Amino acid sequence: MLRMGAIVLGMLALATAAQAQSVTVKVESGVLAGTQTDRAAIFKNVPYAAPPTGALRWAAPKKPLAWKGERDASKNGVSCPQQMNADGSPNSGSANGPVSEDCLQLNVFAPPNDKIGAAAKAPVMVWIHGGSHRTGAGWIYDGQNFARDGVVLVSINYRLGPLGYFAHPALTKAAGKAPVGNYGLMDQIAALEWVQRNIAAFGGDPKNVTVFGESAGGMSTLAILATPKAKGLYQKAAVQSGGGWFSPSTLAGKEADGVAVAAKLGLENATAADLRAVPADRLIAQTLSGDYGPFVDGRLLKETPSQAFAAGRESDVPLIIGANSGEDSLIGRSLPNASALAAAIPAAVKAPYAAEAAKGDEALVRAAFGDRYMVGPARWVAAEAADGAPAWLYHFSYVGSRFRPMGVTSAAHAAEIQYVFEYWGRRTPESMVAADDKAMAKLMHGCWVAFAKTGAPRCDIDWPAYGRARDQLVEFGAQSGVREGFRKGQLDVQQALVLPTLGLPAN
């Protein structure tokens, strides 16, 4: 079965290669030589910043270096340094293959056109991949169906793990007044700036940009919405399973973490030069259990996204936000300590979870986890955002046909990506995709495309903008439709419990 799937994928790759034609486009750094299929003009491994190596490791990204002649943009680039599986299989972020610190590249999927950039301006979507801010890569995602439908899709790499989110007193001193710590977030903003300067060459409209992402990419999107420096670089945003309730942090606290890491590396009194001389693989091996992602450094990011939304200081743009029914997949397939975890849940929180509790401690813990970290925060962000530009809330519960025979009853974390991209990924042969799967992909993909084009998800489902009074969302599931007061009791109690711990009003 697996061998036949590999043969099918190989045949599809050969067919795509046979259809592809060469195409060139000129950007600020030089000429790119990509490929064009019947669905898209594709340019891969395009530098949007200078290599963040040497003195530029743990520094704000600089503009990309120029090249002479045509740069080959027909092949995937490398992934940013991360822990890869020894057997070469994709890791938890779906990445495999070579890694390098010289990884600040992006990929462009533009509507096919003999004269790239000469046609009408197309909406642009910039995709930020997930992977817990420690794994993943932009090259994994195929944006051809966005291009087919008139959207320029850009997928990006950004620095990950200790190379992307790291602070140390020596680095802060060396930076002077420049921003520090949030290098992955700086990269994402630099990519959006590159889009502003260059996307017109691909037929894209720099005044109609949607930034969107899933998991760590969704969290990054929320951080971008809260970062003043990023305002004006996009006009819409979409957050897929990106949470929304973030604990306050400080540069001093992250510096203390960095000092502890340096000590483990034998660098108790490290200078910036000492730290930059540590091989990337050694640094990553020493910090696999670290906590990464955007934090309040006081320079680039001056408050958490939660604080920004609560105060109305986020970028006021149309927003899609939501989560999945099986977000508990993040805590693993089995919970041997479920009873202890259930016992730790406050009684006031347990009350609305009677139906889940009746199924056992594990069902209770899993439901409470999903609501606490994804479903509840998404609803809260939608409510806070809806005071300005409209927001649309969703819940994804659709289970793919290939998973149902296995007894799967909920949509795992990241399961919606295939449907939004209308692309089944590198490991799912077309033979495993049923007609109802394709119908769901057509529906969701159409909603995201419409949002990019018009600023509202006007698609094949009546999706009302979110409002506190009616508390409506669209559920994408076996029976898709509008739901009112979805899990209201459970989400209300989670919100009342969590927001005060973040210093936010429990509204």
Residues 6+ apart with CB under 8 A from 261: 162, 166, 168, 283, 286, 287, 290
Give the helix/strand (H/E) hosting 421: helix 417-421
Q: How many whole angstroms separate alpha carbon 204 and alpha carbon 152?
A: 6
Q: In terms of Cα–Cα distance, which of 250, 249, 246 is closest to 307?
A: 246
- Write the CB contacts of 253 (distance below 8 Å, at least 6 apart in sequence): none
327 is catalytic: yes
CA distances from 481 to 148, 443, 447 (A): 27, 12, 13
Asked if 217 and 321 count as a contact pair (C-beta separation under 8 A), the reply is no
Residue 107's nearest CA partner among 162, 68, 146, 164 is 146
Cα of 206 vs its chain's centroid, Å: 21
292, 249 in Cβ contact below 8 A? no
Residues present in the chain in total: 507
State the amino acid at position 440 in one-letter form: M
Residue with tokens 């999107």: 221
168 annotated active-site: no
Q: Which of 215, 315, 325, 410 is catalytic?
A: 215
- Catalytic one of 133, 413, 416, 422: 413
Report the alpha-carbon distance of residue 103 to residue 51 in Å, rounded.
7
Helix, strand, coil % (nearest 5) of the chain?
40, 15, 45
Closest CA to 402 of 382, 375, 379, 425: 425
User: What residue type is assigned to position 134 of the chain?
Assistant: R
Write the DSSP string, 354-383: HHHHTT-HHHHHHHHHHIIIIIHHHHHHHH
Rounded to 10 degrees, what is the CA torsion of 127, 237, 27, 110?
60
Cα separation, 216 vs 173, whole angstroms: 29
Indicate the DSSP class of residue 182: B
Query: Angle at the Cα of 247 (from 245 to 251), degrees rounded to 5?
Result: 135
Q: Which of 314, 327, 356, 416 is catalytic?
A: 327
* Residue 24, helix vs strand vs coil: strand
CA-closest candidate to residue 326, choices 214, 413, 218:
413
- Residue corresponding to tokens 């793990």: 161
Under a CB-based contact definition with an 8 Å cutoff, are residues 356 and 363 in contact?
yes
325 is catalytic: no
Catalytic residues: 215, 327, 413
